[in-house]
């Protein structure tokens, strides 16, 4: 503890962390929030009622944490993945048998993704039944709906990437629905698959969607979502 | 319900005995002012919220780690376009949609319905006129019953024509649940609870239960040729 | 919850959090293969031989040509180290291996999941991996993937399987590449051939019961199917192309019970070496049906006609047409009639059978249903080919394509094929495949061959197809003679034909013409321990001259000559004799004057049999002519070979 205290007094520490230890007064506590890039999304004070578990079940928070986990594991998985046939599948085998903690990473990514779909949906239900979408939060509700859709799309595009039987046919079924869209259905399907059937290009397209385009939108919309919550008066 | 007498209006010219007040109600009242906010009990974000967030994050990681250590992510054999599994199933969250596709024409099930759901979800905050969320039976119960029942009945007929029993049955159940506060006069906590649910609440409840049931059916009860099988 | 309790919760959860994160790396560290490698290093230390310990880490073989990665060597660490012969598994070296492991990897032959590093995933049949580790008994099937139709010495089971498939005529119903169709009797005139309808009924019920060595499988027909089919077949009384049976000569009816007449038949039967091909009660050759019970099966007229000219009744049969006279053929018929009778056969009760009105249509439908026409020819309208599944890529049949029925067979391709071969109806369904009575070894052999038929896309430089056989189709008179006496059933010519008797391709460079002429007349065994010998074909002198003429002009090798300045003299002969007996010890395998070994042919009359050029060249390099011969290549000097040749040439036939 002494060493830690001494460390906290050094110039280097203080140049990195603005917060001075020990944190005792309310001002110190406020400064923790102010001085942090990540934390200052929070107000300095919050309603006690709103931070109780029974109030929100922390569903939004859990969804966000799952998203963070997905990004971390996803980036690590990208290091071992080639969007090509049949390498994509062999990479899964490598993850399982050769890469250190490979199956742990893949399992985490997979189950987080499934769980996130559930928590985001439950989050929506919670907001609905609590009436938390009411003015002035109408638009934030819509952002939430879009986030739900993007979550589904992220999960769906990721589904193809192992390129096993499960992914191939799940994606076939899904993309077959797309072609029922009147007039443009076939064209949209062609655009998605990069051809008339699932193949190398589909894999690349889904890979880019899954790893670049959709996460980008997701991050932007999550930021907007959080910012709006803060501006509309915190959790409700 | 409060008694009528309580709303008696006092009229007097003596301004001291009966104080006259003038309230100007603008046409659009911001909702946030409508609900009286009780005096909030505020606490410091740090450490009260931050510690909860950290614990929450840790629990999420712990739970997922445990799941990941015990259950491997599925991996079947290399994709083979020649080998169509029977049935080919979409990811579980789309199985409801796939189940619909089985009962309705593709354009309706695959395009129209999801589109309607998304639109309905988006417009909820704009069309929720019942700001106070009065229960379904609060006002004019007889008329409500008639309109509500006839709409549900027409819907059920349509579902019946399409053989969509997987929708019909939950709809029927929700309907029975919805009208039960009207029929059962004896009150208890449960009945009170569902009596206070608004129309929008009922629609959402119906939507969620149908979705969940469709997904469960699609996941566990559908076998080769999308035929009904028992999962055990 | 107040803050203090939250802090305690935070502390507890933090510890669990760290523990949860530590589990996966620990699990990773304690993987089985790491343990096995440590084990290896310990084992190696205890060995008396010096073997380098391995550095702990995953090992793999990347086969660039196949774009395949095999991680088997992670645990099988001693695979190419002969010093580890005594080490326990998985460290033992590979048994004799024909390919460079680094170039081929493991799974190309052994199959299994080469990418995996866990025992179960690699070795055991697992879901979602179509090709589990191939059981050792089927390993030769992998040789057949690249060595297509090559008859390798080391793949006896694969070769045997191929022979069996040809022998059992699987190609009658299935398309199997590289296998020719076998002779199967055509059924025209079967109504005039078999002794009675009853025999046919019994035959169709269970062919093996009547003739244990039959190649006809049991179609497991119902009784009514048997009756209908028998009626249908019995209705074919006339032979193909309007051929009619010659009546038996009067001499037959007059003498058929006479001892002398039967004796004549028996003598001719012996001289013709019928049992070289036909067994009698299981003793004898396996090329043709067992003749035991023949008289209870076939009418005597048919037998007589067949003995006289087999090809008249069965144009594709390979039985030679012996030069018997009518009387001799009749005597042989009488001999068969007297000897080869099924004494247990119960006399027919005499009840007259009246076929159903629509027996023909129904019989035809059955004939087509069971694809009888796949093997047996029959001139009837409405016979369709109704073949079974194409087997040209059966070895890579996918698990999902297989209907397992109600069996509890392990879901692997090899188990499927094995079960299907052993008991074809096991999987239920509409299969029509008949049941063959196969020994386990035969089942294994057939399974091995079928497993080798894969659609795998192997790189071109891996594939080793055998040289295409050039069908030698002899024309003209020689062709007719070869055809008539079915020479190529036993002998081969330019790599095609049988493998029972010596190759004839350079026969005229090997054998003396005079000796050959005498041999045609009275063939005899040269090797004392070989039972099969050339039958007496009763071939006419004219035909012998045509053949010898052909041999001497065509079946030669111009390179087989002795050096030009070679001259036989006494000195050379004597030196050859001493070389023969002392230097090279040839008598340990070859008999001369009653002394010597039994491995090689006796050389007593070799001087009149063989040509000197052949002896000389043979001595210089026996394997050049017969790759499988066991005669050692002694690399003797030219002069030695010449002297020994001179010695052998002196061993002439002496008329005693």
Residue A171 pLDDT > 50: yes
User: In this structure, are residues C288 and C277 in contact, taking their beta carbons and an 8 Å threshold?
Assistant: yes
| B108: closest chain A residue by CA | A180
Considering chain C, what percentage of its residues have pLDDT values greater than 70? 94
A118: which residues sit within 8 A by CB, 6+ positions away?
Answer: none
**Domain positions in chain C:** 32-133, 156-175+389-466, 190-339, 476-553, 570-649
Q: What is the distance between the alpha carbons of residues C203 and C186, in angstroms, rounded to a whole number?
A: 16
pLDDT tens, position by position, C487-542? 887 788 877 777 777 888 888 888 888 888 888 877 776 666 555 667 778 888 88
- Could you identify the residue written with the tokens 């209006």? B9
Transcribe C321-384 into DSSP letters: -----HHHHHHHHHHHHHHS--TTPPPP--PPP---TTHHHHHHHHHHHTTGGGTS----TT--
pLDDT tens, position by position, A146-160? 999 999 999 999 999
Least Cα separation, residue A163 to chain C (angstroms) = 13
| Token pair for A98 | 């050769």
Q: Do C24 and A101 touch (CB under 8 A)?
A: yes
Count of B–C CB contacts within 8 Å?
45
pLDDT confidence bin for C603, thresholds 50/70/90: confident
Q: Do B125 and A134 touch (CB under 8 A)?
A: yes
Distance in angstroms between the alpha carbons of the first and the last residue of chain C: 125
Pick the CATH number of C156-175+389-466 from 3.50.50.60, 2.60.40.10, 2.60.40.420, 1.10.260.40: 2.60.40.420
**Considering only B33-47, B215-229, C263-277, C603-617, which range has the smallest mean pLDDT?**
B33-47
Which residues of chain B does C27 touch, with a Cβ-Cβ cutoff of 8 Å?
Answer: 69
Which residues of chain B does C6 touch, with a Cβ-Cβ cutoff of 8 Å?
Answer: 48, 51-52, 55
pLDDT of residue B209: 93
| A166: closest chain C residue by CA | C128
| Cα distances (Å, whole numbers) of residue C403 to B2, C130, C398, C407, C426 | 74, 15, 11, 10, 11
User: Which A-chain residues 90-109 have CB contacts (< 8 A) with chain C?
Assistant: 90, 93-94, 96-98, 100-101, 104
User: In this structure, are residues C110 and C139 in contact, taking their beta carbons and an 8 Å threshold?
Assistant: yes
Is A113 touching B (CB cutoff 8 A)? no
H or E element at residue C221:
none
Q: Looking at the partner chain, which of B54, B61, B80 has a beta carbon nearest the beta carbon of C20? A: B61
**Considering only A215-219, C236-240, C280-284, which range has the smallest mean pLDDT?**
C280-284
User: Which C-chain residues 74-113 have CB contacts (< 8 A) with chain A?
Assistant: 113
**Considering only A223-232, C270-279, C338-347, C526-535, which range has the smallest mean pLDDT?**
C526-535
Nearest to C300 by CA among C266, C260, C256: C256
pLDDT tens, position by position, C246-262? 888 888 888 878 888 88
The bridge status of strand C68-70 relative to strand C61-63 is antiparallel
The CA-CA-CA angle for residues A95, A97, A100, to 5°, reads 65
User: In this structure, are residues C153 and C628 in contact, taking their beta carbons and an 8 Å threshold?
Assistant: yes
Q: What is the distance between the alpha carbons of residues C292 and C278, in angstroms, rounded to a whole number?
A: 9
pLDDT of residue C591: 80
Which CATH number does C570-649 carry?
A: 1.10.760.10
**Considering only A62-66, A152-156, C34-38, C618-622, which range has the smallest mean pLDDT?**
C618-622
The DSSP secondary-structure symbol of B101 reads H
Q: Looking at the partner chain, which of A97, A100, A104 has a beta carbon nearest the beta carbon of C115? A: A97
Q: Do C3 and B47 touch (CB under 8 A)?
A: yes
Q: Looking at the partner chain, which of B49, B60, B121 has a beta carbon nearest the beta carbon of A62? A: B60
pLDDT of residue B227: 87
Dihedral sign, Cα of residue C461, residue C463, residue C464, residue C467: negative
**Considering only A97-106, B78-87, C118-127, C465-474, which range has the smallest mean pLDDT?**
C465-474
Nearest to B150 by CA among B124, B179, B130: B179
**Domain positions in chain B:** 42-71, 92-226
Q: Reduce the DSSP state of residue A232 to 3 states and report it.
A: coil
The CA-CA-CA angle for residues C471, C475, C477, to 5°, reads 140
pLDDT confidence bin for A82, thresholds 50/70/90: very high
Is B58 touching C (CB cutoff 8 A)? yes
* ipTM of the complex, rounded to two decimals: 0.92
Say which residue, B45 or C430, is predicted with more confidence. B45
Asked if domains C190-339 and C570-649 share a fold, the reply is: yes
Q: Looking at the partner chain, which of A97, A164, A165 has a beta carbon nearest the beta carbon of C118? A: A97
Residue A177 pLDDT > 60: yes
pLDDT tens, position by position, A17-66? 877 777 888 888 888 888 888 888 888 888 888 888 888 899 999 999 99
Q: Select from C56, C57, C63, C117 the residue whose CB has the most chain A CBs within 10 Å, as the one to mutate to test that interface.
A: C117
Query: How many CB atoms lie under 10 A from the CB of residue C498?
Result: 16
Which residues of chain C does A98 touch, with a Cβ-Cβ cutoff of 8 Å?
Answer: 58, 71, 115, 117
The DSSP secondary-structure symbol of C298 reads B
pLDDT of residue C355: 75
Strand partners of residue C69 = C62
Which residues of chain A does C117 touch, with a Cβ-Cβ cutoff of 8 Å?
Answer: 97-98
| Token pair for C84 | 């580890």
DSSP H stretches of helix in C464-611: 476-484, 487-490, 507-510, 513-521, 541-553, 570-578, 606-609
pLDDT confidence bin for C580, thresholds 50/70/90: confident
- The most confident of A137-151, B34-48, C69-83, C231-245, by mean pLDDT: A137-151
Sketch out chain A's domains with CATH numbers. 1-45 (no CATH), 58-231 (1.20.810.10)
Mean pLDDT of A105-114: 96
Is C117 touching A (CB cutoff 8 A)? yes
Pick the CATH number of C476-553 from 1.10.10.10, 1.10.760.10, 1.10.1530.10, 1.10.3720.10: 1.10.760.10
Considering chain C, what percentage of its residues have pLDDT values greater than 90? 12
HEC per residue, C521-554: HCCCCCCCCCCCCCCCCCCCHHHHHHHHHHHHHC
Average pLDDT value over all residues in chain A: 91
pLDDT of residue C414: 92
| B58: closest chain C residue by CA | C17
pLDDT confidence bin for A103, thresholds 50/70/90: very high
pLDDT of residue B2: 44
Q: Do A165 and C128 touch (CB under 8 A)?
A: yes
Mean pLDDT of C4-29: 93
User: In this structure, are residues C15 and B56 in contact, taking their beta carbons and an 8 Å threshold?
Assistant: no
| Cα distances (Å, whole numbers) of residue C393 to A41, C397, C434, C609, C613 | 65, 7, 21, 49, 48
Mean pLDDT of C551-575: 76
H or E element at residue C111:
none
Distance in angstroms between the alpha carbons of the first and the last residue of chain A: 39
Is B65 touching C (CB cutoff 8 A)? yes
pLDDT confidence bin for C656, thresholds 50/70/90: very low
Q: What is the distance between the alpha carbons of residues C303 and C329, in angstroms, rounded to a whole number?
A: 9
pLDDT in 10s for each residue of chain B, 232 residues: 444 555 666 666 676 666 666 666 666 555 554 454 556 688 888 888 999 999 999 999 999 999 999 999 999 888 888 888 888 889 999 999 998 988 888 888 888 999 999 999 988 888 766 556 667 777 788 888 888 899 999 999 999 988 888 889 999 999 998 888 888 877 788 888 888 888 888 889 999 999 999 999 999 999 888 888 888 7
pLDDT tens, position by position, C90-112? 888 898 888 888 888 999 999 98
Q: Do A90 and C69 touch (CB under 8 A)?
A: yes
pLDDT of residue A80: 94
User: Which C-chain residues 12-71 have CB contacts (< 8 A) with chain A?
Assistant: 24-25, 27-28, 58, 69, 71
pLDDT of residue C400: 82
Superfamily of domain C190-339 in CATH is: Cytochrome c-like domain (1.10.760.10)
| Token pair for A198 | 């699932």
Is A164 touching C (CB cutoff 8 A)? yes
Q: Looking at the partner chain, which of A39, A86, A131 has a beta carbon nearest the beta carbon of B133? A: A131
pLDDT of residue C9: 94
């Amino acid at each position: 503890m002494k060493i830690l205290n001494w460390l906290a007094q050094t110039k280097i520490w203080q140049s990195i962390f603005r917060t001075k230890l020990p944190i005792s007064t309310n001002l110190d506590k406020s400064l923790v929030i102010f001085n942090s890039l990540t934390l200052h999304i929070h107000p300095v004070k919050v309603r006690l009622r709103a931070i109780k578990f029974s109030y929100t079940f922390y569903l939004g928070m859990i969804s966000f944490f799952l998203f963070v986990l997905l990004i971390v594991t996803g980036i690590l998985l990208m290091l071992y993945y080639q969007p090509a046939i049949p390498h994509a599948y062999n990479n899964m085998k490598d993850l399982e048998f050769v890469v250190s903690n490979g199956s742990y990473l893949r399992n985490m990514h997979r189950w987080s993704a499934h769980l996130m779909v559930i928590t985001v949906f439950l989050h929506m239900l919670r907001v609905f039944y609590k009436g938390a979408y009411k003015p002035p939060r109408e638009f934030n509700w819509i952002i939430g709906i879009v986030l739900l859709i993007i979550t589904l799309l992220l999960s769906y595009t990721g589904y193809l990437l192992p390129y096993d039987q499960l992914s191939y046919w799940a994606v076939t079924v899904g993309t077959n629905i797309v072609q029922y869209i009147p007039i443009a259905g076939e064209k949209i399907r062609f655009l998605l698959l990069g051809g008339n059937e699932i193949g190398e290009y589909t894999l690349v397209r889904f890979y880019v969607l899954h790893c670049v385009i959709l996460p980008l939108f997701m991050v932007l919309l999550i930021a907007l979502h959080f910012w709006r919550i803060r501006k509309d008066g915190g959790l409700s | 319900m409060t008694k009528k007498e309580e709303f008696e209006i006092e009229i007097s010219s003596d301004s001291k005995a009966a104080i006259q007040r003038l309230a100007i109600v603008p046409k659009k009242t911001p909702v946030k002012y409508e609900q009286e906010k009780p005096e909030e009990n505020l606490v410091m974000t740090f450490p009260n919220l931050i510690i909860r967030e950290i614990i929450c994050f840790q629990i999420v990681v712990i739970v997922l780690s445990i799941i990941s250590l015990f259950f491997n992510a599925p991996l079947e054999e290399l994709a083979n376009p020649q080998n169509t599994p029977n049935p080919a199933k979409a990811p579980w969250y789309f199985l409801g949609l796939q189940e619909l596709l089985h009962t309705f024409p593709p354009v309706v099930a695959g395009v129209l319905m999801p589109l309607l759901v998304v639109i309905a979800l988006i417009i909820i905050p704009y069309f929720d006129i019942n700001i106070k969320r009065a229960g379904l039976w609060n006002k004019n119960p007889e008329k409500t019953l008639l309109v509500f029942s006839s709409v549900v009945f027409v819907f059920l007929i349509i579902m019946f024509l399409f053989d969509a029993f997987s929708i019909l049955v939950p709809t029927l159940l929700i309907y029975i649940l919805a009208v039960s506060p009207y029929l059962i006069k004896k009150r208890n906590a449960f009945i009170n609870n569902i009596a206070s649910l608004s129309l929008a609440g009922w629609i959402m409840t119906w939507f969620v239960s149908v979705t969940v049931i469709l997904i469960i059916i699609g996941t566990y009860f559908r076998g080769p040729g999308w035929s009904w099988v028992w999962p055990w | 919850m107040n803050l203090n309790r939250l802090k305690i919760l935070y502390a507890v959860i933090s510890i669990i959090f760290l523990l949860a994160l530590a589990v996966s790396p620990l699990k990773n560290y304690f993987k089985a293969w790491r343990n096995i490698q440590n084990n290896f290093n310990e084992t190696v230390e205890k060995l008396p031989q010096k073997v380098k310990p391995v550095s702990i880490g995953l090992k793999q073989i990347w086969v660039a040509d196949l774009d395949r990665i095999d991680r088997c060597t992670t645990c099988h660490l001693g695979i190419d180290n002969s010093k580890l012969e005594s080490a326990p598994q998985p460290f033992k070296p590979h048994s004799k291996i024909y390919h460079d492991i680094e170039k081929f990897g493991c799974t190309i032959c052994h199959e299994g999941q080469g990418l995996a590093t866990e025992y179960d995933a690699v070795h055991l049949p697992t879901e979602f991996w179509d090709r589990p580790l191939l059981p050792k008994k089927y390993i030769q099937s992998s040789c057949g993937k690249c060595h297509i139709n090559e008859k390798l010495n080391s793949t006896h089971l694969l070769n045997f399987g191929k022979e069996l498939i040809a022998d059992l005529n699987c190609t009658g119903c299935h398309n199997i590449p590289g296998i020719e169709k076998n002779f199967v009797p055509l059924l025209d005139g079967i109504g005039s051939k078999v002794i009675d309808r009853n025999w046919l009924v019994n035959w169709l019920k269970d062919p093996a019961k009547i003739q244990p060595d039959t190649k006809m499988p049991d179609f497991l027909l119902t009784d009514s199917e048997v009756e209908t089919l028998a009626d249908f077949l019995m209705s074919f009384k006339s032979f193909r192309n309007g051929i009619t049976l010659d009546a038996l000569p009067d001499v037959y009816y007059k003498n058929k019970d006479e001892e002398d007449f039967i004796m004549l038949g028996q003598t001719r039967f012996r001289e013709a070496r019928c049992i070289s091909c036909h067994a009698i009660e299981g003793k004898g050759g396996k090329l043709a049906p067992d003749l035991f019970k023949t008289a209870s099966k076939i009418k005597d007229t048919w037998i007589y006609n067949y003995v006289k000219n087999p090809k008249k009744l069965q144009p594709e049969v390979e039985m030679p047409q012996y030069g018997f006279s009518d009387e001799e053929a009749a005597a042989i018929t009488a001999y068969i009639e007297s000897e080869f009778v099924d004494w247990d056969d119960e006399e027919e009760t005499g009840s007259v059978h009246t076929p159903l009105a629509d027996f023909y249509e129904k019989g035809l439908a059955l004939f087509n249903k069971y694809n009888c026409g796949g093997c047996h020819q029959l001139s009837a309208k409405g016979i369709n080919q109704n073949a079974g599944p194409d087997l040209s890529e059966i070895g890579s049949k996918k698990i999902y394509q297989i209907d397992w029925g109600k069996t509890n067979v392990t879901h692997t391709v090899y188990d499927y094929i094995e079960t299907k071969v052993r008991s074809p109806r096991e999987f239920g369904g509409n299969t029509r495949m008949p049941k063959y009575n196969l020994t386990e070894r035969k089942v294994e052999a057939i399974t091995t061959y079928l497993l080798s038929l894969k659609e795998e896309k192997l790189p071109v430089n891996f594939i080793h197809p055998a040289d295409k056989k050039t069908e030698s189709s002899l024309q003209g008179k020689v062709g007719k003679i070869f055809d008539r006496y079915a020479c190529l059933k036993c002998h081969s010519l330019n790599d095609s034909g049988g493998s029972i008797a010596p190759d004839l391709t350079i026969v005229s460079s090997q054998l003396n013409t005079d000796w050959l002429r005498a041999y045609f007349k009275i063939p005899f065994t040269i090797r004392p321990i070989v039972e099969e010998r050339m039958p007496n074909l009763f071939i006419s002198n004219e035909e012998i001259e045509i053949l010898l003429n052909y041999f001497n002009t065509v079946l030669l090798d111009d390179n087989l000559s002795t050096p030009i300045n070679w001259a036989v003299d006494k000195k050379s002969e004597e030196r050859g004799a001493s070389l023969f007996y002392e230097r090279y010890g040839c008598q340990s395998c070859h008999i001369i004057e009653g002394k010597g070994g039994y491995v090689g042919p006796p050389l007593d009359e070799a001087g009149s049999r063989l040509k000197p050029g052949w002896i000389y060249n043979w001595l210089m390099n026996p394997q050049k002519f017969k790759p499988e011969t066991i005669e050692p290549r002694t690399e003797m000097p030219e002069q030695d070979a010449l002297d020994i040749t001179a010695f052998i040439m002196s061993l002439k036939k002496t008329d005693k």
